[in-house]
């Protein structure tokens, strides 16, 4: 039997509202459909929303794990395609900056997870200590950026902070909400021009997701767009990204 990969990928962003959690949820569904065993860690620990994306109401969450009330297996919620979600709290500020002891509890808990192909870590936006920590313990880092100038500026700031604080040099860029591939590549070139000038890092254009009205339709229904609209442009674009992840 082929051994599971156990690959941890962080999906992060400089600015909120760039569609990061939506990408993570739908990405997990596509990977699950490809028979890749996939977990999502909702690492926006005080304002989690991955459970909402799946229309779930978890009984327990990461607070119960950190307080020692439940094991990681006991807080996991199963979603479609065998996706497993490790849910965060919502509206509890005390977990917005984990202590060293709390980080160690989480890290040792991850080792208790059954074998998997992918653990997708959906961080909060910005440059908090939690964001730096989760990116530091992941093998791959994906930065979600949109054509909005504020998103470009904030993405550069995140890359700069992560490079400085973790020593990481390789970052994958996913451009969301682009009109077309040309605009996505232009966004990637803009951010690369700045990082090439000021930072010793390497950016990889990992793919893009176009503006697609079906995303909003599905999201309002608390449904996944890849499930509701399997032939829409956004789904086909995300499939390409997932094909690359698996390859």
pTM: 0.95
**C-alpha–C-alpha distance, residues 116 and 130, integer Å:** 23
Output b/e per residue, 39-57; b: 16+ Cβ within 10 A. Answer: bbbbbbbbbbebbbbbeee
Q: Is residue 212 situated within a structural domain?
A: yes
Contact 174, 139 (CB under 8 A): no
Task: Tell me which residues of the chain have a pLDDT lower than 70.
Answer: 1-5
Give the count of beta carbons closer than 10 Å to the beta carbon of residue 116: 16
The pLDDT of residue 1: 45
Q: Is residue 44 situated within a structural domain?
A: yes
Q: Is residue 25 situated within a structural domain?
A: yes
The pLDDT of residue 3: 54
Query: 46 lies in which domain range?
Result: 7-241
By CB atoms closer than 10 A (0-12, 13-18, 19+), residue 74 is exposed
Question: Any residues with CB less than 8 A from the CB of 192 and at least 6 apart, and which?
Answer: 203
Q: Is residue 68 situated within a structural domain?
A: yes
Q: Is residue 2 situated within a structural domain?
A: no
Q: Is residue 139 situated within a structural domain?
A: yes
Q: Is residue 67 situated within a structural domain?
A: yes
Provide the CATH number for the domain around residue 117: 3.40.50.300
Q: Is residue 217 situated within a structural domain?
A: yes
Write the CA distances from 167 to 46, 114, 171, 202, integer angstroms.
Answer: 26, 29, 12, 12
Question: Any residues with CB less than 8 A from the CB of 81 and at least 6 apart, and which?
Answer: 28, 29, 32, 33, 38
**C-alpha–C-alpha distance, residues 80 and 32, integer Å:** 8
Tell me how many domains the chain contains: 1
Q: What digits encode the pLDDT tens for the residues 56-93?
A: 889 999 999 999 999 999 999 998 889 999 999 877 77
């Amino acid at each position: 039997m082929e051994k599971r990969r156990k690959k941890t990928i962080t999906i992060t962003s400089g600015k909120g509202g760039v569609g990061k959690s939506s990408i993570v949820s739908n990405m997990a569904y596509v990977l699950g459909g490809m028979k890749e065993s996939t977990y999502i860690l909702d690492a926006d620990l005080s304002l989690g929303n991955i459970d909402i994306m799946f229309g779930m109401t978890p009984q327990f969450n990461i607070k119960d794990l950190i307080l020692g009330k439940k094991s990681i297996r006991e807080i996991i919620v199963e979603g479609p395609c065998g996706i497993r979600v490790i849910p965060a709290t919502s509206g509890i500020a005390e977990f917005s900056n984990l202590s060293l002891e709390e980080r160690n509890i989480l890290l040792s808990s991850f080792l208790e997870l059954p074998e998997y192909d992918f653990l997708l870590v959906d961080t909060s936006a910005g440059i908090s200590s939690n964001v730096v920590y989760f990116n530091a313990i992941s093998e791959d880092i994906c930065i979600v950026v949109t054509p909005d100038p504020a998103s470009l500026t904030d993405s550069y700031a995140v890359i700069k902070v992560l490079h400085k604080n973790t020593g990481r040099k390789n970052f994958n860029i996913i451009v969301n909400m682009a009109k077309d591939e040309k605009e996505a590549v232009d966004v990637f070139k803009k951010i690369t021009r700045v990082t090439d000038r000021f930072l010793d890092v390497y950016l990889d254009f990992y793919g893009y997701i176009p503006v697609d009205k079906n995303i909003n339709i599905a999201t309002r229904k608390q449904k996944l767009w890849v499930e509701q609209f399997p032939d829409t442009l956004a789904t086909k674009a995300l499939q390409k990204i997932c094909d690359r992840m698996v390859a």
